[in-house]
């Protein structure tokens, strides 16, 4: 009986004769590996965290109490116009009541309200934030009114707010603020 390995050798020789001379292919470079993560600026992150903490402490030092009046005007706004606002002599066109809202919700509502008012050409709005005398959500652990301080801080940092003052007693007193918005510029 014939050895099956002899048949395999014959087949191999026939195959090599059929294909002719062989040349070796160059080595292919390996595919790129997974990219390394970007380096983190840990010192910068630490500095940012420290700066935020310092900013919070500065804010705590300037927090308003329940009876404090909010007041702000940009340089281009005359003191006379602020006085008219303080007296309630400027007609309020829209109103937002933040009673019962937590801080995050109040911030979102306020941003959306001011954006919408500006888009519709509203010049004066009233924001009711409450005095912070009732409810755990409206008063911080320090006893300061949370929503009142949030509204004050947000309004001071918005480019579209040119002046604001706590409302006269008949319109909510120190639990509400009247806000003058910059006129919308047409592009």
What stretch of H or E contains 174? none
What number of helices (H) and strands (E) belong to the chain?
5, 5
First to last CA, the chain: 98
Closest CA to 63 of 140, 144, 147, 175: 144
- Reported as a single tens digit per residue, the pLDDT across 57-99 is 655 556 777 777 888 999 999 999 999 999 999 999 999 999 8
Q: Is the model's pTM score more than 0.75?
A: no
CA separation, residue 21 to residues 8, 17, 49, 50 (Å): 20, 8, 69, 72
Q: Which one has a higher pLDDT value, 132 or 51?
A: 51
Coil, strand, or helix at residue 154? helix
Task: With residue 43 as reference, give the H or E element that holds it.
Answer: helix 42-61
CATH class of segment(s) 72-181 = alpha beta
Give the pairing of strands 71-73 and 176-181.
unpaired
- pLDDT at residue 136 is higher than 50: no
Say if residues 152 and 64 touch (Cβ distance below 8 Å). Answer: yes
The domains of the chain are located at 72-181
- The confidence score (pLDDT) of residue 2 equals 56
Kindly list the distances between the CA atom of residue 58 and the CA atoms of 4, 145, 175, in Å, as whole numbers in the listed order.
Answer: 92, 16, 23
105-122 mean pLDDT: 93
The arithmetic mean of pLDDT across residues 125-141, rounded, is: 68
């Amino acid at each position: 009986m014939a050895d099956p390995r002899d048949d395999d050798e014959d087949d191999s020789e026939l195959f090599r004769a059929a294909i002719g001379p062989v040349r070796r292919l160059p080595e292919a470079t390996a595919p790129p590996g997974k990219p390394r993560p970007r380096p983190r600026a840990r010192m910068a992150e630490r500095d940012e965290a420290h700066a935020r903490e310092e900013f919070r402490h500065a804010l705590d030092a300037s927090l308003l109490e329940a009876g404090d009046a909010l007041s702000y005007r940009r340089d281009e706004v005359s003191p006379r116009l602020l006085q008219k606002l303080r007296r309630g002599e400027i007609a309020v066109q829209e109103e937002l009541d933040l009673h019962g809202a937590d801080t995050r919700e109040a911030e979102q509502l306020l941003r959306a309200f001011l954006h919408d008012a500006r888009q519709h050409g509203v010049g004066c709005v009233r924001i009711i934030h409450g005095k912070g005398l009732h409810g755990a959500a409206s008063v911080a652990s320090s006893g300061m009114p949370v929503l009142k301080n949030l509204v004050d801080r947000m309004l001071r940092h918005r480019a579209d707010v040119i002046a604001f003052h706590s409302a006269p007693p008949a319109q909510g007193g120190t639990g509400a603020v009247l806000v003058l918005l910059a006129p919308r510029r047409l592009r």
